[in-house]
Amino acid sequence: MFMKAGSVALDAGMLRALFERIFVINLAERQDRRKEIADQLALVGLSFEDPLVELFPAVRPADRGDFQSIGARGCFLSHLKIIERAVDLGLTRILIVEDDMDWTRVIHTSSRDDLRLLTETDWHFLHGGYGQGSSQDAARFGMKRLDPNESLLCSHFIGLRGEIIQTAAAYLKAMLAREPGSPDGGPMDVDGAYSWLRKDFPGFAGYVCEPALVTQRPSRSDVAEVKGWRAMPGMQSVLEAVRRLRKRLRGRAGKGL
């Protein structure tokens, strides 16, 4: 069972000090994910009614275009549109969250002093962890400075601060205009696009949370194409039930997650 919001080290006050807006990407038809991410927001004292949080309708293109799948294109376009919206609103500190994000036990086991690194570190790009570049075994919460050439996986928790927001808007938009496989960077998964951005603009300080502050909830993917036996009628409902059971069992083993 999860601990109550009042017992976590990361709370709404700290998140307000970090960000001017938290954008949550969610497909309208994925009400299951919307409820689950609402539960995660509640853990840190937030909700969709809070002015800090904006529920962003995910883009669902009609075709995959030059991307590997419709979902990959939609994810890229969703991130781009959020960043462009941030530019239009004049925001300088934003967090982009995908609706399959879960907090890790770090928010329960870390001290507020440790988590203040999030506000005290001079970062431009912040990755929540769970993926290449973040150790899961660090004894206490910290932030690892990223080499500009170090690639990262996943895009479920991306913080952008300062001039990188306007740079990212122009950079991702330019990718759409190029051919797939372009040496300058063409259409690709959005986590790859962020890695290219950091590589091409090494002056922006990138950090990853260590150990991971967030993880990805086991859930049916909106990016990967469903094929084979998984596409059989009713199979997605069965798989979703298995994922929920696996999460509960994992939570019991983690004593609080």
Identify the band that residue 241 occupies on the pLDDT scale cut at 50, 70 and 90: very low
Of 142-146, 215-219, 221-225, 232-236, give the range with the top mean pLDDT: 142-146
pLDDT level of residue 219 (50, 70, 90 thresholds): low
Q: What is the CATH number of domain 5-225?
A: 3.90.550
Q: pLDDT (tens digit, 9 = 90+) per residue, 121-170?
A: 999 999 999 765 455 556 789 999 999 999 989 999 999 999 999 999 99
pLDDT of residue 211: 92
Calculate mean pLDDT across residues 46-70. Answer: 97
Q: How far apart are CA 122 and CA 118, in angstroms?
A: 9
Q: Is the pLDDT of residue 231 over 50?
A: no
Query: Is the pLDDT assigned to residue 189 strictly greater than 90?
Result: yes
Which one-letter DSSP state was computed for residue 26?
A: E
Edge-to-edge strand ranges of the sheet holding 157-161: 53-57, 21-26, 93-98, 157-161, 125-127, 206-210, 142-145
pLDDT of residue 3: 44
* Spans of all domains in the chain: 5-225, 226-257
Instruction: Tell me which residue of 257, 248, 227 sits closest to 105, measured CA to CA.
Output: 257
- The whole-number average pLDDT for the span 24-41 is 97
- What letters, b where the CB count within 10 A reaches 16 and e where it falls short, cover 96-108? bbbbbbbbbbbbb
How much is the pLDDT for 204? 98
29 against 240, higher pLDDT: 29
Q: Rounded to 5 degrees, what are φ and ψ at 70?
A: -60, -40
| pLDDT of 56 over the 60 cut | yes
Backbone angles phi, psi at 84, to 5 degrees: -65, -35
